[in-house]
Amino acid sequence: MRIVERKKRNPILTFVISFASVIFGLPLLYALGVPSGDVVLTALFGEGNIWTLIFSAMLILLITFGVGRAIKSST
């Protein structure tokens, strides 16, 4: 019974830690002068380039599948 409780608690703990890191991490990076994502993408690909959208979509899919695999392997 203890293992079931631990497995149920693990994704919730992962979500809370991820949420907290975004809440505290992004303002810290902004205060340190790190450029935002749109500034970086514009510098890499130029303004109005279709590759910016393709790169962003691939990055989002890669992160989504990576997190999904990590959660699946931990449960």
Tens digit of each residue's pLDDT (9 = 90 or more) over 7-58: 666 778 888 888 999 999 989 989 999 998 889 989 999 988 999 999 999 9
Residues 6+ apart with CB under 8 A from 32: none
Nearest C-alpha neighbor of 22 from the set 52, 54, 63: 63
* pLDDT of 2 over the 90 cut: no
The Cα–Cα gap between 69 and 18 comes to 16
Q: What is the largest CA-CA distance in the chain?
A: 55
Amino acid at 25: G
pLDDT: is 72 or 66 the higher one?
66
Neighbours of 55 (CB within 10 A): 14
